[in-house]
Homo-oligomer: A and B are copies of this chain.
């Protein structure tokens, strides 16, 4: 049966020990951020997610959202839970205090997000989308737009959406057709249909604010002619309350594989009034503001679901009695041993554990750099942190969700046939996780972003933001004997990554298909190597502290790191061989030959 307790020991370890929480106090606005405050926030989030959100997860999946005459209802209990969530201040923890937020670091709000995603991903979608809308307006909106919308987003009384996709255009936004015509008062009239709009319509908030990509009448064709607009469901009155209904309606909701309690809407704009956000024809830039934050958030979803699945699987492996340990009975008092004694079950659980903890470190390390990129004193510090965020965003999104999906499947597998039964909760994690590989840019698109955009940017400057600290760590620890078993495999895998990226970069100069053909493998290689780096760093701390630790926390870290290095990291050797094989076999097949087997 599914079960969830927030992994607080782990989150505190990452925040205070791996990332050195004290260093946040050197960032602007965080001078007062004490360990006690951080711990209190994490503990309260752990309690709320486990006690309020988790109990609605399975029931929300069973019931799903309903649609009738344009009205969308969320499952039983969601409205009350959202009200409690919002009143407890969770919607504004990272928002600017100028707009009523609590102004906590993104690192902390991202940790809270992990817990929300573990407990109830569908629920988390509603406030989650609002963050993207908040960011877009905070960075690109007018002062009036900020005053109108940001306090409502921060207190959670209004929610936001991102309206990008249309039936004929997903990845290729250049094909976008939604039009925006000028109105006399300087606002716009939007007409078009958007699909796959998460939280596009629902009953949790009194207003819904759509951030919509559309074309102005004089727009150039393609993606250079796209602008961003804010289009509220109800037009705000001067006093800030929701006024008359705008020309926005929900045409239907999708029947999906998972995240069934999250309403995925067709939204029709029919001469809806909207306001330009940012510059005309510069919508893609503003869109990427929303998208990049969202991509990190989607990676966190993969992590959160994997964690929840691990907890369910571990609990089952401790309770399910079946067979005896092959090396001799372990629990003679029981009718059989718990399946945790079996090597193959341990392999499954350790695969989950080492990847979850490694991903977690990687994601929060990146989140910390997001905070530094915004708040550090020097431009140089901010720039370096932003470089890492730029590089890691597609890796976190794609690797985090590919692994998240893989691990939820392993969790299900631990349950055997019982994992396939809805009521046990494990198959929901798999279905919910599956969307994370698709939305906010498919994982293939993330790989192209990494290889085609990030890798070569500024002559490889983003790359150096990862490679330099990695190289330094290896050099600093190469001579420490107890670190050898971790540093050697890391160095070997890092060598593969360096050679892989260099080879792809070089081959791409003469063959434009090269990068695309191996992008997915190269992104995975980045992921495995970065996780190995995280494990080596965590192990170093654990080795120093394990002697004085009666709980076994650091001992577990070291043993889990060993499993990662010996049983998971070797994946990099295959990835390296596939990358070196290059694009030839991928491109050498004519379009017709793909259907060779179907002829009679």
| A contacts, CB < 8 Å to B | 5, 7-10, 43, 46, 165, 168-172, 174-175, 196, 254-258, 311, 314, 317-318, 321-323, 326-327, 335-336, 338, 340-350, 353, 356-357, 405, 409, 412-413, 416-423, 427, 430-431, 434-435, 437-439, 442-444, 447-448, 512-513, 516-517, 519-520, 551-553, 555-557, 559-560, 562-563, 566-567, 570-574, 577-578, 581, 583-600
Contact = CB atoms under 8 A, between A and B. Distances in A.
A175 B336 contact: yes
Contacts of A418: 170
Contacts of A169: 322
Contacts of A517: 343-344, 346-347
In the complex, the count of this chain's copies comes to 2
A447 to B, nearest CB: 7
A171 B416 CA distance: 9
Contacts of A43: 600
A513 B520 CA distance: 35
7 contacts: A10-B597, A256-B422, A344-B519, A413-B438, A556-B589, A570-B574, A573-B574
A551 B566 CA distance: 47
A557 B416 CA distance: 37
A171 B324 CA distance: 11
A567 B556 contact: no
Contacts of A421: 254-257
Contacts of A326: 512-513, 516
Given A254-B420, A338-B591, A416-B442, 8 more contacts: A175-B321, A257-B420, A257-B422, A346-B589, A552-B593, A552-B596, A559-B585, A570-B581
Given A172-B322, A257-B430, A343 B587 contact: yes
Contacts of A573: 570, 573-574, 577
B557 A255 contact: no
Contacts of A584: 566
Contact of A585 (B318, B439, B447, B562): B562
B323 A172 contact: yes
A587 B417 contact: no
Contact of A578 (B10, B353, B567, B594): B567
A257 B420 CA distance: 6
A171 B592 CA distance: 46
A261 B27 CA distance: 58
A589 B350 contact: yes
Nearest to A596: B556
Contact of A353 (B5, B322, B435, B594): B594
Closest 7 CB pairs of A and B: A343-B516, A556-B596, A570-B577, A10-B597, A343-B517, A257-B427, A566-B581
Contacts of A520: 344, 347
Name the prevailing secondary structure of the A interface residues: helix
A417 B581 contact: no
Contacts of A350: 585-586, 589
A147 B256 CA distance: 49
A581 B567 contact: yes
Nearest to A438: B417
Contacts of A599: 8-9, 551, 553
Nearest to A421: B254
Contacts of A448: 344
Nearest to A562: B585
A417 B516 CA distance: 20
Of the candidates A256, A439, A583, A598, the one having the most CB atoms from chain B within 10 angstroms of its own CB is A598
A550 to B, nearest CB: 11
A437 B423 contact: no
Contacts of A422: 254-257
Nearest to A422: B255
Contacts of A583: 343
Contacts of A591: 318, 338, 340-341
A442 B595 CA distance: 33
A448 B343 CA distance: 10
Contacts of A348: 444
Contacts of A311: 598
Contacts of A567: 578, 581, 585-586
A170 to B, nearest CB: 5
A257 B416 contact: no
Contact of A347 (B347, B353, B570, B586): B586
Contacts of A321: 168, 175
A8 B599 CA distance: 7
A381 B572 CA distance: 43
A486 B318 CA distance: 46
Contacts of A168: 321, 335
Contacts of A577: 570, 573
A349 B348 CA distance: 28
Contacts of A427: 256-257, 434
B322 A175 contact: yes
Contact of A9 (B196, B257, B596): B596
Nearest to A256: B420
